[in-house]
Structure 1
């Protein structure tokens, strides 16, 4: 028996060691994408041509939202993975704003798709419909629309929480906040209806842009095809956000499985369905947009030139010091 228990202990230790390596890799991944997002935000706010254009205002709003979501979701993921308990009221508050952030990403993707539809299919009205003032109104509308299902859901679970101990400590997850099965059904139905409506808008825009691309002349066809590719990537991002809704139900069903296996499945879901949509944003707009990519490239080249000048000055000082000695 002693040999078996030592063997099991060795296996658990190896499993934890592997899991720690995965967590470390995830932290590096998040740090890299946060750095990329912050770098792009600096580039966005440094040019007036970006701060007055609807396309880039929406992109900046999504970058800010993604940075917030990555930081908070990663914190909750680490707390849950290491079994750290927090107060129930704090868990509810964090998840409330996290749910709004997730919805805001999907709503922003839909708004950006509509902007591409107007630019390709109604180019003569693009300047009027997508002005900077309208873009700020769209950002406010995105926040309001994103809040509605979250307010309804948390208002539904609040009475059951109040009947319990509001200061109770627990491992923070959405499953632990849902006191009754109908809470999960309510949340899933509301968010699913939202995402279906957004998916319908994106499909409509995709079909209309595709028709415009087929009917366009050779000169305009390239721009239409590029808009079509952007909408396709937005569709993929929205699909990942939609699959995110299935996480609590799937994880609730497998929660009683072997502990190590559940940790790996939860980590896989976190990387594929939570991190991936947020990491796609820089690739969709940051690198595919020609004007924005030129600005990013100029910043990188300026940084490299500054480093080279600094090294030259350091070498010059060193040679001067050696000659004096």
Structure 2
């Protein structure tokens, strides 16, 4: 928003920041859920049908939304309690640190993120190790085991990309202080690296790995190349 408008009202900035935080924090939990689904399909294939149902998937999505809504909602409540009403009528650069500026919010989010990413990291490590042990013991269907292992590894890479969203803000402030004339450009580059590129890579990677999608995608590219010629 702040790349289109220099400054906007605090009351207008709140929903944008809260939605951005919600979607950013939900990604690692979704990765953990996908890794657990692969773990169940490989390690408990006979129970997969009744363990991974649509109803349970919807329930898990609801739990993820509730968990990821807690930090931005508490940020808002703390800000409502500590900031004067006039603050919400002022114009600011729409940034999380400028909107939720109470120091307690920063420490709260650091504690939450530590527990949050530790859980996701342990879930990925556990599922990967169990899948590897299953791969060693399995004498058949090694292809599906290999795919599941690669999927969990891919989730680990995606988790590292998600971590950038929490590391970059601490690097962004010193860079802006060093290059104050390029503050907007620094924020924009960080936005691309942290939020856009990881979300762009995920569907592309999964799409290329899907055999049917890859077949039609290659056919489309060949058609476009021949049409240009």
TM range (shorter): 0.7 to 0.9
Determine the structure 2 residue equivalent to 1:103: 25
Q: SS at the partner of 1:78?
A: coil
CA distance in 2: counterparts of 1:77 and 1:204, whole angstroms: 41
Unaligned runs of 5+ in 1: 1-75, 312-325
Q: May I ask how many residue pairs the two structures share in their alignment?
A: 225
- Please say if residues 106 and 195 of structure 1, whose CA atoms lie closer than 8 Å, have aligned partners that are also in contact: yes
Higher relative contact order (CA 8 A, sep 6+): 2
Change (3 A) 1:146 1:266: same
Greater Cα shift, 185-194 or 89-98: 185-194
Note if 1:121 corresponds to 2:43. Answer: yes
Change (3 A) 1:108 1:240: same
CA distance in 2: counterparts of 1:302 and 1:276, whole angstroms: 23
Q: SS at the partner of 1:179?
A: coil
Determine the structure 1 residue equivalent to 2:153: 232
Write out per-residue CA displacement over residues 58-113 of structure 1, whole angstroms, 9 at most, x where no aligned residue: xxxxxxxxxxxxxxxxxx3623xxx6111101111110111111112222111111
Mark the structure with the bigger radius of gyration. 1
Note if 1:276 corresponds to 2:201. Answer: no
CA distance in 1: counterparts of 2:160 and 2:40, whole angstroms: 23
Change (3 A) 1:93 1:211: same
What RMSD in Å do the two structures reach over aligned CA positions?
Answer: 2.6
Q: Give 1:223-302 correspondences, 5 Å limit.
A: 223-290=144-211, 294-295=212-213, 297-298=215-216
- Please say if residues 213 and 225 of structure 1, whose CA atoms lie closer than 8 Å, have aligned partners that are also in contact: yes
Change (3 A) 1:276 1:299: closer
CA distance in 1: counterparts of 2:119 and 2:90, whole angstroms: 37
Unaligned runs of 5+ in 2: none
Q: SS at the partner of 1:256?
A: helix
Q: SS at the partner of 1:84?
A: coil
TM-score by length of 2: 0.86
Change (3 A) 1:178 1:241: same
Determine the structure 1 residue equivalent to 2:108: 186
CA distance in 1: counterparts of 2:147 and 2:37, whole angstroms: 14
- Please say if residues 92 and 177 of structure 1, whose CA atoms lie closer than 8 Å, have aligned partners that are also in contact: yes
Q: SS at the partner of 2:88?
A: coil
Note if 1:78 corresponds to 2:3. Answer: yes
- Please say if residues 214 and 221 of structure 1, whose CA atoms lie closer than 8 Å, have aligned partners that are also in contact: no
Change (3 A) 1:110 1:182: same
Change (3 A) 1:155 1:231: same
What is the deviation of 1:212? 1.1
What is the deviation of 1:304? 8.7
CA distance in 2: counterparts of 1:277 and 1:143, whole angstroms: 20
What is the deviation of 1:268? 3.7
Change (3 A) 1:302 1:240: closer
CA distance in 2: counterparts of 1:102 and 1:201, whole angstroms: 18
